[in-house]
């Protein structure tokens, strides 16, 4: 097929050549007495109009109507016109699409003009019938002769049917359209000749005319030919009345070519030209229909697919190879979707979608996704190579509240992103809770920096109690954030975000300064009897080259002695060959700062750091303390672990603090094991600094209960 500027119609000589070709085809099927050269001249003028700057659908419809006006009423004229121009008519900017649209408009104009002409003929026939029945005997012969001439010579198919819808007279044109002898049509029911899917509409139209609800009607109907094939006829039906209705006159126009052209254009509009799969428009239409028609307990779902690394294939092997890959994937995708009512299509690029049928459950979607991942993984021959391709798939169903097609597509796209982020070659199922958590993280990320600047963070303090007498000797500082919209945010969430955003250093400095300032107030009031403050350091803070200077400067600024500060570090933060953190901790320890290992036993448990770092205390993770509760399944093992940690620490001259103590039984057991200190809700929940101050002031009068008591 040629593009504009490349075909014979792109020059004046080319138009002459194309007009002559068209004229030859029209002359073969036309009964119009005209010289070939005159016909060529007329058709050339039509080509000039079609290809001119003002050419378009309206001009094309006028050209189709002009053919009818010129007398070319044989429906083969449309076929001859399309055959002459389909590969030769210069195309517009959209290429073959413009050419097809233009020819469709020519066919539409021709059909409309022929229908109007047919209607005129129909009216003439009806008048002739009435005249024949009402005229005097001496005029009857002439009237019938005129009717017969019009009936037999008409290019339109015509038949007269009785009140039982049986054909009592049919002309040769109708017989040719139906590919049957005229005699075979006699006494046949018109509805019986139509295809089953169209009989009901035809029967309704005939019934309306019989009942007088209409005086004329038109409809399209398909008829089967004896030798195979289908002819589409545009039918016009009108009653013949002589006092009452006696017959119906039906005229028929062969609309098959226009139907096929429109079907092709419709298919092109709703299908991807590369893979012939349904395109975005058809997929979304199907999804709309399914959502609108869902029953109360029915589900549908979609799989959203994207090829992994497809751009690399295009860049490395060329777009032709990329097209081969897309066609192969489309075929495999279709092969994986064998369930009735399912639809697989291409959105564009390397994105595909599978729309499940109504009533589909999530496990069915997952099984299809698994099949697709496996099928696409097989090597694909393209550009002389066996290319390895994989696919990521997002799966979702309509269990999302108030889900609409756009919601399903968005949810599947989010799940597709998860599959991509996990490395591809896999599927992920949409999880609303997971999405909400990610959305919350995104919201918190954008607000974390401003929250720090506004001072939205607060510190809470949890007492650290000496188990021998229940006296509070220290307090761990805990960071809290109450978001103005989402309320309290879990520390593990915003601490992780601060690490990702590079704000952990700034946040850690704020905690250190604020906590030390509160502890300095306690120290000024109580002296050496004041509780020490225990502050957590992140791994990033620990590896900051200025850590020691920053801590010592902070202590100096707020007036807190170094021995009143304890720094807590996790095992994972302490691991590694870098000497910088070890040197910083040595400097701080020499000044009196305590160093504690937090959550001992939950990290890598490489005990070598206990030998080379100035650690003074081990803090046993609350997960092990939880196992000390009577009846807990982990009690024997956890009790042995806790006892071993206490023995190890004491053997190294370290103190031990148990975290997460929530019951008196746990506190008693820890004291019996020789544990030095403890903290947890049994003693006190985290509170304001004033709470710690009051506890410290009353430490000589009362401690926390460790022994059995009636109340707490």
**Whether residue 356 is found in the same domain as residue 314:** yes
What is the reported pLDDT for 144?
64
Tell me the CATH number at 237.
3.30.450.20
Do 559 and 455 belong together in one domain? yes
Residue 554: which CATH number? 3.20.20.450
Pair (492, 403) in one structural domain: no
Residues of the chain with pLDDT under 70: 1-10, 31-32, 91-97, 125, 128-147, 295-297, 399-403, 575-580, 603-606, 631-634, 699-712
Contact 678, 695 (CB under 8 A): no
Contacts 24+ apart (CB under 8 A), 11-19: 15/44, 15/47, 15/48, 15/51, 16/40, 16/44, 18/47, 18/84, 18/85, 18/88, 18/89, 19/43, 19/44, 19/47
- Identify whether residues 595 and 455 lie together within a single domain: yes
Residues 572 and 683 in one domain: yes
SS3 607: coil
CATH for 346: 3.30.70.270
Last residue of one domain, picked from the residues 85, 100, 116:
116
Are 500 and 585 part of one and the same domain?
A: yes
* 359 and 487 belong to one structural domain: no
Q: Judge if 420 and 459 occupy the same domain.
A: no
pTM metric for this prediction: 0.53
381, part of any domain: yes
**Cα gap 36→28, rounded to integer Å:** 11
Residue 459: CB partners within 8 Å, gap ≥ 6?
477, 478, 479, 480, 511, 514, 515, 518, 689
The arrangement of strands across the sheet holding 230-242 comes to: 167-170, 157-161, 244-254, 230-242, 217-224
8 A C-beta contact, residue 479 and residue 459: yes
**In this predicted structure, what is the pLDDT of residue 547?**
93
Q: Which of 261, 296, 328 lies at the terminal end of a domain, its last residue? A: 261
Number of separate domains in the chain: 4
Residue 708 lies in a domain: no
Residue 702 lies in a domain: no
Residue 640 inside a domain? The answer is yes
Give the strand pairing for 677-678 and 343-348: unpaired
117: its two tokens: 């002409």
What's the domain range around 673?
443-697
DSSP 145: H
pLDDT on residue 482: 87
Residues 195 and 238 in one domain: yes
Any domain includes 501: yes
- Examine the domain organization and report whether 478 and 402 are in the same domain: no
**Residue 153 has what pLDDT?**
80
Query: What was the pLDDT predicted at 341?
Result: 87
Same domain? For 647 and 522 the reply is yes
Domain end: 261, 290, 315, which one? 261
Q: Are residues 196 and 333 in the same domain?
A: no
487 lies in some domain: yes
Compute the half-sphere exposure of residue 451: CA atoms within 13 Å on the CB side of its CA: 23
| Strand, coil or helix: 662 | coil
524 found inside a domain:
yes
């Amino acid at each position: 097929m040629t593009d504009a500027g490349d075909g014979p119609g792109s020059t004046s000589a080319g138009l002459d050549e194309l007009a002559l070709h068209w004229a030859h085809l029209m002359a073969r099927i036309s009964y119009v007495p005209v010289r070939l050269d005159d016909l060529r001249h007329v058709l050339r003028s039509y080509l000039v109009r079609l290809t001119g700057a003002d050419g378009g659908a309206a001009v094309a419809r006028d050209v189709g109507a002009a053919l009818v006006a010129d007398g070319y009423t044989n429906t083969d004229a449309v076929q001859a016109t399309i055959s002459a121009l389909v590969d030769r008519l210069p195309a517009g900017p959209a290429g073959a699409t413009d050419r097809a649209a233009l020819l469709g408009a020519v066919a539409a104009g021709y059909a409309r003009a022929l229908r109007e002409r047919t209607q005129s003929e129909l009216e003439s026939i009806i008048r002739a019938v009435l005249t024949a029945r009402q005229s005097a005997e001496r005029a009857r012969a002439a009237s019938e002769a005129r009717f017969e001439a019009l009936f037999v010579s008409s290019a339109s198919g015509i038949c007269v049917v009785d009140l039982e819808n049986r054909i009592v007279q049919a002309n040769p044109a109708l017989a040719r359209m139906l590919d049957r002898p005229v005699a075979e049509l006699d006494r046949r029911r018109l509805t019986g000749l139509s295809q089953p899917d169209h009989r009901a509409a035809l029967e309704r139209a005939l019934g309306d005319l019989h009942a007088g609800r209409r005086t004329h009607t038109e409809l399209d109907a398909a008829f089967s030919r004896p030798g195979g094939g289908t002819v589409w006829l545009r039918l016009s039906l009108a009653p013949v009345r002589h006092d009452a209705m006696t017959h119906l006159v039906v005229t028929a126009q062969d609309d098959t070519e226009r139907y096929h052209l429109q079907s092709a254009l419709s298919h092109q509009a709703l299908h991807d030209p590369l893979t012939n799969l349904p395109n975005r428009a058809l997929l979304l239409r199907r999804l709309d229909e399914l959502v609108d028609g869902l029953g109360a307990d029915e589900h549908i779902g979609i799989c959203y697919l994207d090829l992994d690394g497809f751009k690399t294939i295009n860049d490395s092997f060329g777009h032709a190879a990329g097209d081969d890959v897309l066609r192969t994937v489309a075929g495999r995708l279709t092969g994986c979707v064998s369930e009735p009512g399912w639809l697989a299509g291409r959105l564009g690029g390397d994105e595909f979608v599978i729309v499940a049928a109504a009533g589909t459950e999530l496990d069915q979607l997952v099984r299809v996704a698994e099949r697709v991942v496996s099928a696409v993984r097989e090597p694909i021959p393209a550009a002389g190579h066996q290319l390895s391709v994989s696919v990521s798939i997002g799966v979702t169903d309509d269990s999302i509240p108030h889900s609409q097609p756009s919601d399903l597509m968005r949810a599947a796209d989010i799940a597709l992103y998860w599959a991509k982020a996990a490395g591809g070659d896999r599927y992920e199922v949409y999880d609303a809770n997971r999405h909400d958590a990610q959305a919350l993280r995104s919201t918190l990320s954008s607000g974390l920096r401003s929250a720090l600047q506004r001072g939205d963070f607060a510190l809470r303090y949890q007492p650290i109690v000496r188990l021998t007498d229940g006296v509070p000797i220290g307090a761990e500082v805990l960071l809290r954030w109450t978001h103005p919209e989402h309320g309290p945010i879990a520390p593990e969430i915003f601490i992780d975000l601060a690490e990702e955003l590079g704000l952990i250093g700034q946040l850690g400095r704020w905690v250190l300064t604020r906590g030390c300032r509160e502890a300095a107030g306690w120290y000024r009031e109580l002296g050496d009897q004041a509780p020490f403050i225990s502050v957590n350091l992140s791994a990033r803070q620990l590896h900051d080259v200025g850590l020691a200077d920053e801590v010592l400067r902070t202590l100096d600024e707020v007036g807190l002695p170094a021995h009143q500060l304890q720094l807590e570090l996790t095992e994972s933060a302490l691991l590694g060959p870098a000497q910088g953190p070890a040197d910083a901790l040595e400097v701080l320890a020499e000044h009196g700062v305590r160093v504690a290992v937090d959550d001992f036993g939950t990290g890598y448990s490489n005990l070598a750091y206990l030998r080379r770092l100035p650690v003074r205390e081990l803090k046993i993770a609350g997960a092990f303390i939880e196992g000390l509760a009577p009846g807990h399944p982990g009690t024997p093992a956890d009790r042995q672990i806790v006892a071993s940690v206490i023995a190890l620490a004491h053997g190294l001259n370290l103190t031990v603090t148990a975290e997460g103590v929530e019951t008196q039984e746990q506190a008693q057991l820890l004291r019996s094991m020789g544990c030095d200190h403890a903290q947890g809700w049994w003693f006190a929940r985290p509170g304001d600094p004033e709470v710690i101050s009051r506890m410290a002031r009353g430490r000589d009068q009362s401690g926390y209960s460790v022994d059995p008591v009636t109340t707490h």
